[in-house]
Structure 1
Amino acid sequence: MVREFKLPDVGEGVAEGELLEWHVEPGDTVAEDQVVADVETDKAVVDVPSPVNGTVRELLAEPGDVVPVGTVIITFDVEGEAPPESERDATTDAETGAVAEGDGDAEAAAESSGNGQGGRVFAAPSARRLARELGVEIAAVDGSGPGGRVTESDVRAAAESQPDESDDGKQLKSAVSRIDDGEDGSGKSSVSDGLSSAVSRVDDGESGGSDAAGGAVAAGAVEAAGRERTLAAPATRQVAEDLGVDIDDVPTDEVRDGQAFVDEAAVREYADAQQRAQEADAEALADASEAGEAGPPTTTAESGAGPDAVEAAEGDRREPYRGVRKTIGRAMERSKFTAPHVTHHEKVDATALVETREKLKARADDRGVKLTFVPFVMKAVAAALDEHPVLNTQLDEDNEEIVFKSDRNFGVAVATDAGLMVPVVDGVDGKGLLQLASETNELVAKCRERSIAREEMQGGTFTITNFGAIGGEYATPIINYPETAILGLGAIEERPVAEDGEVVARDVLPLSLSVDHRVIDGADAARFVETLKEYIEDPTLLLLE
């Protein structure tokens, strides 16, 4: 019996993952729960375990492939296992390859028939939707993706290879509007209501003809659904909000409890279609306005040279911008362009802190714990927040409320090969230095090994970033949205300080505090730092907390 294994949903809101490495090869014997692959999502690197005891039959994806959740990535030979119901619903004639339909609909039968070669058709939901829009029979499309998977490009290629429809009033099944330059003489398309106008074809009014500008054909746009109600997970709604998409406009075939249901993949696909359509429409307009230019325009998607494209010279190197790195970029962009940042800089005499750490370092080593300055600062921040709680807040823009968080859950920014990651240490105010040091060290190690769980990077109320460990004095840290403050620690260095009319050498710690100016005034930030200084300059005060 052959068992197919699909890429599982490895976390809420995760729609796809990049296959990093296979740990098995065809012919290998595997046990249930044995790790067979490493997959990187936009959150972290996760292990993919085998669901069965069996033998690896076929690997259907290559390292580096970005695979949607639900895609079959590997098959196993399993002895003594009954076929799944989905396979019992259809029987295949051994000689003709004909499929007898069970209770499934026509599309299910087409899926079972294979790409004209027998076997099941593997295709993403987006490719199936596109096939329906373009009137393409999915079973007849040759897939170019991993394991013969049918992609959207395959569907479009199949649609283009079909005979042109006649001019006897047949409508195009895709959402493409046709503009005749012979109607108004301008040679320019006008933008009609909704997305259906975003992609247009400029014609001379004759079937198969072209205008003076050579005609312009852009990729098909997706019509807005325009529903009154849509079911979706909170994370999906957040993605729609981030991308500027009305979730009621996202097309979907999925229904739950009698209502249309939309997942994150559909939202992102619709947003991408919007962007492509807008770019294509703008290009078509520009092309039509240039008299005498022949030939169809090259779209951004075709040339890879959009208005913001970067030209690479000989010797330059490119690498994909995706996965964790892309997620970090989106988070930074959202924070910087949502929260007006103000950064307060200050210097702290950390001589007593350095001495205290040196006294306790040997005892910590005896207990197997590496004691850095960060746990001391975490305790000092927790104490200072008790006096200045406005820095431990989040802004609920939907309800127009400032939420004062009761927890003291601190994110600790960690530099990794994939970019900056922020694991969260919970309940800082209720833990001792050694426990904080141990938990922080463990989370940092998980980040650098790429094994940290998504939930270990959630729930933060305040963030600390120690850029001084690498080098540097001051910075302007970007707030870990939706928090409202982040503290940056510079390098502790011995510096000349004026004391009682004399210049003496003291250990100085530079601080950089960025705050969301919508919630926190500059005076609030300054007062918080002054309180924080008291605890850093005299760590024995922390014994009172």
Structure 2
Amino acid sequence: MAIEKILVPDIGNFDSVDVIEVIAKIGDVIKKDDSLITLETDKASMDIPAPHAGTVKEIFLKVGDKIKQGSPILMLDVGLDEKKVETKTEIKETKTEIKETKKEEAPKASIPEPSRPAPEPPQKIKPQHTPAPIGDSVVDATNKKSHASPSVRKFARELGVNLAFVQGSGPKNRILESDIQSYVKGELARPRTDNMGNAPTVIPMPIIDFSQYGEIETKPLSKIKKLSGANLHRNWVTAPHVTQFDEADITDLEAFRKSMQVDAEKKGVKLTLLAFLMKACVNALKTYPNFNASLSADGDQLIYKSYYNIGFACDTPDGLVVPVVRDVHQKDVLAIAKDLGELSAKARERKLKMEEMQGGCFTISSLGGIGGTKFTPIINCPEVAILGISRSSMEPIYDPKTKTFEARLILPLSLSYDHRVIDGADGARFTSHLRMMLSDVRRLLL
């Protein structure tokens, strides 16, 4: 019998990560790469796979624990070979299927129809979200975790301050008493108007028994959708979105891409339009550096970046994730295409590391393989812009030189940007620059 202690591998630059699910159980026979636990940060969740096959003998952590690289996960008996593990796993799965089949075949007891709850008076409705107790804006902060000592929390309660709205200045963003004082002073110093009491507030969603209208089925949201949903809501509320629509003629670019397919396949690379789009976006970001920037936390400064890391929205069975291709300005289209393929495969297999989803400057969301004409992508804050791509189509374009219509392949572009940082004129200039780069492949490869 060979017993091995399994430790948390490299999970990126995190000192403390929450354990939200312990998948393995004592006595489980697991295969290599089976998920052991699920970790969660404020941006994404990830599974930690088993480095070896074996039997779980002891588990050292539980849901809610905070761990880091090197923390012990469990003790694993690795004395079994892979074939024996697979056989035991198949037997266990078969027994589970038999039990579930018998359970489904058992007669179901009749369930009485739930009675409709009597409607409560409006004054008794309790809000589901905690609004800011100080200030005139209502913000949903239920998903933000605040780090503060018990004494600081007591001080905040006495002043009626929701810690979710306070930016901590202590180690690891811990909230100090001085941070609460600064927050209160800032709120009291904000300009006041006579009609502030008439500001609109967000009422809670009504609780409805949908089964009264017909048959229903309830399924839990995936962890990725829960996390991305909270982030998307924050981004939509925080950044004033404007979307600029445009179209690019990619007839010549698509012909060039197809001509390179053979060489790309020899190198084991699938060359897609997205690799060319990333090159074009980097060129546009260099020309218009406001798009390659982020607002500081206090909103008083603009932070310009000298690196060009491009994220791309990747559709997975559990929801959308955004892997990041690093240093795009230093790579050719084949190298970019290789990174895209590797990151996409990791995303679908839930093997993305935290650092592979961080450090993005700009994001591309491509729906070209699915369809549609135009859409409004939501900015991936703290980035200030995102490019949406829809399905290209052949359209008749008038050529003034020949005075005839010619069939050209047209790609719809949808650029959403943060209006606090980018003006409408610059948004139009950015898409015009992209259109010029994509319509002439020679410019793109310079």
Which residue in 2 is equivalent to 1:362? 262
Please give the secondary structure, in 1, of the residue aligned with 2:368. Answer: helix
Equivalent position of 1:469 in the other structure: 369
Give the structure 1 partner of residue 207 of structure 2: 309
Checking the alignment, whether the CA contact within 8 Å between 2:45 and 2:224 is kept in structure 1 is yes
- How many angstroms does 1:460 deviate by? 0.3
1:77–1:490 CA distance, 2 compared to 1 (3 A) = closer
Q: In the alignment, is residue 225 of structure 1 matched against residue 151 of structure 2?
A: yes
* Alignment pair present for 1:353 and 2:352: no
Change (3 A) 1:50 1:323: same
How far 1:541 moved relative to its partner?
1.1
2:241 touches 2:417 (CA, 8 Å); kept in 1? Answer: yes
2:421 is the counterpart of 1:519: yes
Q: 1:424 and 2:424 equivalent? A: no
Contact 2:19/2:37 (<8 A) preserved: no
**1:467 Cα deviation (Å)?**
1.2
User: Matches of residues 129-528 of structure 1 in structure 2 within 5 Å?
Assistant: 225-226=151-152, 243-244=164-165, 307-313=205-211, 315-321=215-221, 323-398=223-298, 400-500=300-400, 501-528=403-430
Greater than 4 Å deviation, 4+ residue runs? 2-13, 27-30, 33-36, 48-51, 58-61, 70-78, 227-230, 245-248, 259-263
Name the SS for the 2:63 alignment partner: strand
Residue 413 of structure 2: SS of its match in structure 1? strand
The corresponding residue for 2:63 is: 67
Measured against aligned partners, the alpha-carbon deviations of 1:346-372 in whole angstroms (never above 9, x if no partner) come to 111111111111111111111110000
CA contact (8 A) 1:413 1:420 kept: yes
Q: Is the 8 A contact 2:167 2:173 kept in 1?
A: no
Q: Call closer, same or farther: CA 1:432–1:229 in 2, change over 3 Å.
A: farther
Residue identity in the other structure for 1:311: D
Unaligned runs of 5+ in 1: 79-187, 189-222, 231-239, 249-255, 264-305
Is the Cα–Cα contact under 8 Å of residues 8 and 70 in structure 1 kept in the other structure? no
Following superposition, the deviation at residue 309 of structure 1 comes to: 3.2
Counterpart for residue 45 of structure 2: 44
Cα offset, 1:322, TM superposition: 5.7
User: What's the TM-score once normalised by structure 1's chain length?
Assistant: 0.53
* CA distance in 2: counterparts of 1:3 and 1:14, whole angstroms: 23
1:253 aligned residue: none
- Closer, same or farther: CA 4–502 of 1 in aligned 2, 3 Å: closer
SS at match of 1:15: strand
Which whole-Å CA distance do the structure 1 matches of 2:27 and 2:380 have between them? 44
Aligned: 1:17 with 2:16? no
CA contact (8 A) 1:351 1:507 kept: yes
Query: SS in structure 1 opposite 2:360?
Result: coil
Deviates more, 1:453-462 or 1:379-388: 379-388
DSSP 3-state at the match of 2:338: helix
- Evaluate the alpha carbon distance shift between residue 310 and residue 421 of structure 1 in structure 2; reply closer, same or farther with a 3 A threshold: farther
Secondary structure of residue in 2 paired with 1:444: helix
1:254-284 Cα offsets, whole Å, 9 max, x none, are xx9xx99969xxxxxxxxxxxxxxxxxxxxx
Say which SS state the counterpart of residue 445 (structure 2) adopts. Answer: helix
The whole-number CA distance in structure 1 between the counterparts of 2:297 and 2:219 is 36
In 2: Cα distance, 1:352 partner to 1:323 partner = 42
Cα distance in 2 for residues equivalent to 1:8 and 1:324: 21
Relative contact order (C-alpha < 8 Å, sep 6+): which is higher?
A: 2
* CA distance in 2: counterparts of 1:29 and 1:397, whole angstroms: 45
Secondary structure in structure 1 of the residue aligned to 2:364? strand
The question of 1:530 aligning with 2:441 is answered no
TM-score, normalization by structure 2: 0.64
CA contact (8 A) 1:349 1:507 kept: yes
Corresponding position of 1:540:
442
What number of residue pairs does the alignment pair up? Answer: 331
Q: Which moved more, 1:495-504 or 1:404-413?
A: 495-504
Separation in 2 of the partners of 1:435 and 1:77? 39
Structure 2: state its 5+ residue gaps.
Answer: 78-123, 125-148, 157-161, 176-203
Match for residue 94 of structure 2?
Answer: none
Q: 1:399 to 1:472 in 2, by over 3 A?
A: closer
Deviation, structure 1 residue 528: 1.1
Give the corresponding residue for 2:27: 26
Match of 2:194 in 1: none
| 1:473-512 CA-partner distances (Å, limit 9, x unpaired) | 1110000000001011111111122222322211000000
Counterpart of 2:106?
none
Distance 2:51 2:260 in 1: 46
Aligned amino acid, residue 395 of structure 2: R
> Structure 1 residues 47 and 535 mapped into 2: Cα distance closer, same or farther (>3 Å)?
same
Q: CA deviation at 1:399?
A: 6.0
Q: Is the 8 A contact 2:59 2:75 kept in 1?
A: no
- What amino acid does structure 1 have at the position aligned with 2:165? G
Superposed CA deviations along residues 127-154 of structure 1, whole A, max 9, x for unmatched, are xxxxxxxxxxxxxxxxxxxxxxxxxxxx
Percent identity (aligned): 35
1:417 deviation in Å?
A: 1.4
CA contact (8 A) 2:17 2:66 kept: no
Separation in 1, partners of 2:19, 2:432: 46
Q: 1:517 to 1:492 in 2, by over 3 A?
A: same
- Sort the Cα spacing of 1:310 and 1:45 in 2 relative to 1 into closer, same or farther, 3 A: farther
Instruction: Describe how 1:48-59 pairs up with structure 2 within 5 A.
Output: 49=50, 56-57=56-57
Find the aligned partners of 1:247 and 1:468 in 2 and give their Cα distance: 42
Partners of 1:536 and 1:464 in 2: CA distance? 15
In the other structure, the counterpart of 1:199 is none
**Equivalent position SS for 1:315:** coil
| In structure 1, C-alpha distance between the alignment counterparts of 2:4 and 2:47, rounded to whole Å | 22
In the alignment, is the contact (CA less than 8 A) between 1:7 and 1:69 conserved in 2?
Answer: no
| Contact 1:7/1:70 (<8 A) preserved | no
Provide the secondary structure at the position in 1 that maps to 2:376: coil
Distance 2:66 2:238 in 1: 34
Give the CA deviation at 1:542.
2.4
Letter in 2 for 1:538: D
Are 1:58 and 1:76, in contact at CA under 8 Å, matched by a contact in 2? yes
Q: Are residues 377 and 77 of structure 1, via their aligned partners in 2, closer, same or farther at CA, if it must alter by over 3 Å? A: closer
